[in-house]
Amino acid sequence: MSTTNISLEDIYQLAFDCLTKAGADQANADAVANTVMCAERDGSVSHGLFRIPGYIATLNSGKVNGKANPQPEQVTPALVRCHGQNGHAPLAISRSIEMLAQSAKTCGIAALNITHSHHFAALWHEVEALAEHNLVGFACVSYMPAVAPAGGSEALFGTNPIAFAWPRPNNTPLVFDMATASMAVGEVKIAARDGHKVPMGTGLGPNGELTDDPAEILKGVLLPFGAYKGSAIAMMVELMAGPMVGENLSFETKQNDNADGGPPQGGEFILAISPEIMGGSDWANHAEKLFAKLEAMEGIRLPGSRRHKLRADNSPRAVNSDLIEQLKTLAQ
């Protein structure tokens, strides 16, 4: 694969220009471009510039409103809701996180429901934003059917990621963000593009057989991580990001989508918890005792540490050259 070095500023600008060219207003283009730049910066390539053609497709098809003006509302002291006005999710999320954080600092625990928005980004953004408030964050989202329930061979669940952040005052938070699928669709697509195999157990081919060929899995179905237990968690995400917040299940999302290749409409459930109110003033020092034990074990890395290490490096990133050329054309 040929790559081109491109600065973080230029990654942001390229994304921003593509989005405004396709009809997004400043606020929406800024929120999405920032999300995409952060993904490239942190090495989360499958959520970086790779996603821009999909974002643009939804603006061009009219499925997504590039001028959405989402406003969070305080439903109860512990519940914030934000109707996404049919826009891309990043603006709805960034406008709502502060209200969620304040609610959690008052009540000890609070939730944010994002509805009527279009999700195409990683979830660590929002849980890290909560961790910066010294709050514990949890988020989940569903998507289009791509994963068969354990024991089945037909797609019903989305890749249904969950993310969790634990704040570490004066340090980067501990964060994980993972598909409840054995692998994220974006990773399978990149493996297929780059000609890599994937581990057996990742998914089934179009005839229901196990395969290590990502191209076959993209024609077939992914499996959940961790067999029946992972499947139960994938189902929990369907319910939490769907009926619990008043949004679609993955299979409904697909039925309602116009198949333009970009993110469909879906819901997101975000939880914020104050460990200070719940557990008392020693919470941070206390948790460090667990992290010290983990770090003392050979071969164990704290979740999120690779991304945070990459983040500290502001130098240009190597991005697929064909993708950059494609985006430059789209931006003009």
Based on the residue annotation, tell me whether 46 is a catalytic residue of this protein.
Answer: yes
Is residue 315 among the annotated active site residues?
A: no
> What gap in Å lies between CA 209 and CA 307, rounded to an integer?
34
- Mark residues 75-114: x for contact with a copy of itself by CB under 8 A, - for none: xxxxx-x------------------------xxxxxx-x-
Q: Is 300 in the site for a copy of itself (CB under 8 A)?
A: yes
Distance of CA 310 to the CA centre of its chain: 18
Q: Smallest distance from the beta carbon of 326 to a copy of itself, in angstroms?
A: 32
Nearer to a copy of itself (CB atom), residue 113 or residue 117: 113
**265-273, strands of its sheet edge to edge:** 72-76, 79-88, 109-118, 265-273, 136-141, 162-166, 174-178
- Contact segment (CB under 8 A) with a copy of itself among 33-41, 152-160, 258-266, 314-322 equals 152-160
In terms of CB distance, is 239 or 330 closer to a copy of itself? 239
Of the candidates 40, 44, 47, 142, the residue annotated as catalytic is 47
- Site for a copy of itself (CB under 8 A): which residue of 290, 306, 309, 325? 290
Q: Applying CB under 8 A, does 207 fall inside the site for a copy of itself?
A: no
Q: Which long-range contacts (CB under 8 A, 24 or more apart) does 19-24 make?
A: 19/52, 19/55, 19/56, 19/59, 19/66, 21/330, 21/331, 21/332, 22/55, 22/56, 22/59, 22/60, 22/66, 22/330, 23/59, 23/60, 23/66, 23/67, 24/59, 24/66, 24/67, 24/88
* Site membership for a copy of itself, residue 136 (CB under 8 A): yes
- How many residues make contact with a copy of itself (CB under 8 A)? 66
Cα–Cα distance for residue pair 256/266, rounded to 1 Å: 10
- The DSSP 8-state label assigned to residue 51 in this structure reads G
Active site residue 187: yes
Cβ proximity to a copy of itself, 195 vs 299, nearer residue: 299
Residues contacting 179, CB < 8 A, separation 6+: 159, 160, 161, 185, 225
Which one of 70, 149, 158, 173 is in contact with a copy of itself (CB under 8 A)? 149
Query: In this chain, which stretch among 26-34, 60-68, 237-245, 321-329 interacts with a copy of itself, using CB under 8 A?
Result: 237-245
Rounded Cα distance between 293 and 162, Å, is 24
Q: Interface with a copy of itself includes 275 (CB under 8 A)?
A: yes
Return all residues near 295 (Cβ < 8 A) that are at least 6 apart.
302
- Tokens found for residue 134: 């010294």
Burial of 277 (0-12, 13-18, 19+ CB in 10 A): middle
Identify which of residues 19 and 111 has a Cβ nearer to a copy of itself in the complex.
111
Name the residue nearer to a copy of itself (CB basis): 40 or 128. 128
Q: Which residues are catalytic?
A: 46-47, 187
Q: Which residues bind a copy of itself (CB under 8 A)?
A: 75-79, 81, 106-111, 113, 136, 149, 151-152, 154, 156, 164, 166, 176, 178, 180, 225-227, 229-230, 232-233, 235-236, 238-240, 242-247, 249, 251-252, 271, 273, 275, 277-280, 282-284, 286-287, 289-290, 293-294, 297-300, 303
